Amino acid sequence: MIWAREETLPRAEIEKIQLARLTETVARVYGKVPAYRAKMDAAGVKPEDVKTLGDLQKLPFTTKQDLRDNYPFGLFAVPRKQLRRIHASSGTTGKPTVVGYTQNDLDVWRECVARIAVAAGARDDDVAQICFGYGMFTGALGLHNGLEKVGAAVVPSSTGNTQKQLMYMKDFETTLLVATPSYAMRIAEVAQEIGLDPKKDLRVHTFVLGSELMTEAMRRGLRKVWGEDINITQNYGMSELMGPGVSGECLELCGMHINEDHFIAEVIDPKTGEVLAPGEKGELVVTCITKEALPLIRYRTRDITRLMYEPCACGRTTARMENLSGRTDDMLKIRGVNVFPSQIEEALINTDGIGPNYEIVVDRKDFADLLTLKVEVEAENMMDSYTALEKLEHGIKAKMRLALGLDVRVELVSPNTLKRFEGKAKRVTDLRKAGNESV
Ligand SMILES: [Zn+2]
């Protein structure tokens, strides 16, 4: 099922809509947002210089720092009175990033989320449980409103108290779950601990996952515990751009369809800022072309992906972005080699005898970077067999050497000993940043 006509337009028609909305947006921000006008003036570009979609490249980028510099409402293009909602994303340091919505922005948001939810398999007879933290975070309310629009019965169970979540899931016969991939895994683990088989005792058949990168290894792990024939898709968004609803995977699982009548996506070389050709991998840059309250121009997401324009078997004609390979911020430099945590997760695929949870610790010892990978063995009794442990350790080391070109330390630990997460999993600890170099 496809939710909206806009998802199936011929390329030329999509681009016509994009251009009309882009020129309108650029003129509006230039007139209403002093910070944008100053940046455009400094770059020597006027709204009338944007005549084609290619002219987008003339415009300066917007970064998270711009949002911080204009905290809280400096980049807003409407008077306070027109705002209907304010969200914020937690900043790890300092002030959060603040985003606002007019009534029209909220309507568009619902529409965009309805599209990606339907692409993910959501239907009007679903019971949809939202296991995202409510509050200032855009993820929970975004999915909540979009799924209501689809016609699902929404259960706003939020995060925490996994046993109670499971009680709702069983008693309400929940069919659709919104969560981070790591929490979807954790829920299955707790179900098994209390004697429930997620495949037989629960009715969940559709997972709409987000807010954290999902590798194919994680998808396979989820299928193993929840069932081979269930829908598991991920979707993409960020508060600054809208929240969830920017793009999402369809059931063909070949990248995330972008809501191109609301967003223009580009991929750039993160070092030079140069726009890359379709299919080339780089940093995703997004321009919001329908947002009234906070229309960001060429926002640098720091997420690494590539764009695909080939037709999709699902019937949608919108461009797709490849599932993320990481964030430019997440990239670790280990002895001069660029390493993404997702590469490590991918390399752990199909390793028998280990669980899905892992931790990466980077430290510096004797002036050399040291990457330690902590992995849980699958069964407790394995911890007693030195030979089995040694074999497993050697196997993982060899896989890492092949995938990363690096020697890593592997530490095998007992099942259920690594930290579990209800929201975004934090799998990397970089002790080098803390400045406590252990020599
Ligand atoms: Zn598709």
Interatomic CA distance for residues 223 and 151, integer angstroms: 26
Contacts of 8 (CB under 8 A, 6+ apart): 2, 315, 316, 317
Token pair for 222: 């989820």
Q: Kindly give the distance from the C-alpha atom of residue 49 to the centroid of ligand 1, in angstroms, as a whole number.
A: 34
Ligand 1 mean position, distance from CA 436 (Å): 47
Distance 4 CA to ligand 1 centre (A): 13
| Residue where the block lists tokens 């720091």 | 302
Q: 49-56 long-range contacts, Cβ below 8 Å, gap at least 24?
A: 50/22, 50/23, 50/26, 51/23, 52/19, 53/15, 53/18, 53/19, 53/22, 53/264, 56/22, 56/264, 56/266, 56/287, 56/298
Q: What is the pLDDT of residue 328?
A: 79
Query: How far apart are the CA of 256 and the centre of ligand 1, in A?
Result: 8
Going from the Cα of 309 to the center of ligand 1, the distance in angstroms, rounded, reads 11
Tell me how crowded residue 282 is: count the other CB atoms within 10 A of its CB. 22
**Tens-digit pLDDT profile for residues 185-209:** 999 999 999 999 999 999 999 999 9
Task: Give whole-number Cα distances, 253 to 128, 193, 211, 232, 417, in Å.
Answer: 21, 31, 18, 9, 32
Please, are residues 99 and 68 in contact by the beta-carbon 8 Å criterion?
no
- What local confidence, expressed as pLDDT, does residue 436 receive? 44
Distance 335 CA to ligand 1 centre (A): 40
Would you say 48 and 30 are in contact if contact means Cβ atoms under 8 Å apart? no
pLDDT along the chain (439 residues), means of 10: 97 98 98 98 98 98 94 97 93 80 98 98 98 93 98 96 96 97 94 96 97 88 95 96 98 98 96 94 96 98 95 97 85 85 83 88 88 92 89 94 91 92 85 57
Closest by alpha carbon to 289, among 11, 12, 24? 24
Using a CB cutoff of 5 Å, list residues around ligand 1, an ion. 250, 252, 312, 314, 316
How many other CB atoms sit within 10 Å of the CB of residue 427? 22
174 CA to centre of ligand 1 in angstroms: 25
3-state secondary structure 35-49: HHHHHHHHHCCCHHH
Which bin fits 424, alpha (ψ -120 to 50), beta or left (φ > 0)?
Answer: beta
Q: How far is the CA of 319 from the centre of ligand 1 (A)?
A: 9
Q: Give residue 72's Cα distance to chain centre.
A: 24
- pLDDT computed for residue 439 by the predictor: 35
Cα of 373 vs centre of ligand 1, distance in Å, is 35
Strand segments, DSSP code E, in 293-353 are 299-305, 307-308, 320-321, 326-327, 332-334, 337-339
E strand map for 162-261:
176-179, 206-209, 231-238, 243-249, 256-258
Ligand 1: centre distance to CA 9 (Å): 13
Q: How far is the CA of 116 from the centre of ligand 1 (A)?
A: 10
The predicted pLDDT at position 264 comes to 98
Cα of 50 to ligand 1 centre, how many Å? 31
Centre of ligand 1 to C-alpha 254, Å, is: 7
Q: Taking a C-beta distance cutoff of 8 angstroms, is the pair 210, 130 a contact?
A: no
Cα(406) to ligand 1 centroid in Å equals 36
Q: How far, in Å, is the centroid of ligand 1 from the Cα of 314?
A: 4
- For residue 2, how far is its CA from the centre of ligand 1 (angstroms)? 10
| Tokens describing residue 397 | 């080391």
3-state helix, strand, coil in the chain (%, to 5): 35, 25, 40
Distance 318 CA to ligand 1 centre (A): 8
- How far apart are the CA of 250 and the centre of ligand 1, in A? 5
Cis geometry, peptide bond prior to residue 47 (ω within 30 degrees of 0): no
Q: Which residues pair with 375 in a beta bridge?
A: 358, 412
In the prediction, which pLDDT does 338 show? Answer: 82
Cα 113 from Cα 197, distance rounded (Å): 30
Taking the centre of ligand 1 as the mean of its atom positions, its distance from the CA of residue 263, in whole angstroms, is 17
Domains of the chain, with CATH numbers?
Answer: 1-326 (3.40.50.12780), 332-434 (3.30.300.30)
* pLDDT single digits (tens) 408-433: 999 999 998 999 888 778 889 989 86
| Residue 333 Cα to ligand 1 middle (Å) | 35
- Comparing C-alpha atoms, which of 137, 86, 94 is closest to residue 294? 86
Beta partners for 141? none
**C-alpha 98 – ligand 1 centre gap (Å):** 32
Distances (CA, A) of 9 to 2, 32, 107, 321: 12, 32, 21, 18
Q: Answer for the pair 297, 29: CB distance below 8 angstroms, yes or no.
A: yes
